[in-house]
Amino acid sequence: MFPQVDFSQVDPVWPDKVSPAGAKYAYTKPAVIARGQSALQELYHRPEKVILVVSHSGFLRSGVTGNFYYNADYRIFDFAEPEGGMYKLKQWESTIKGGLGWSLVRTVPLGEGVPEDLSV
């Protein structure tokens, strides 16, 4: 449907979420947080000083920042120094409510509301 888009970098296992090969894409707390950490690690080591990330708000909240995002809202972060192998972000005070002021001012622990395993 989108011949102009290069999908060659997409893992051929995705969107499988149940086989052993697709376990890293499962909707489980450990898998979601691991994907978030993998994304942050890659971004942390990029040479650019400013990076724009567009993603699903549920993934950003559950696996990356712990913040809620209203549709089309944005937030600005800097990297904190990694602690214990975990990559963390520091949000700009000016985007606490989201850059448009539409998002909830509430932070949740990463993985909140995501099942621990697939048996739940």
Task: Specify the pTM.
Answer: 0.86
Give strand ranges (E) for 1-120.
77-79, 89-91
Give strand ranges (E) for 4-103.
77-79, 89-91
Domain residue ranges in the chain = 23-95
Q: Residue 120 has what pLDDT?
A: 55
Condensed to tens digits (0 to 9), the pLDDT of residues 9-58 reads: 899 998 888 889 999 999 999 999 999 999 999 999 999 999 999 999 99
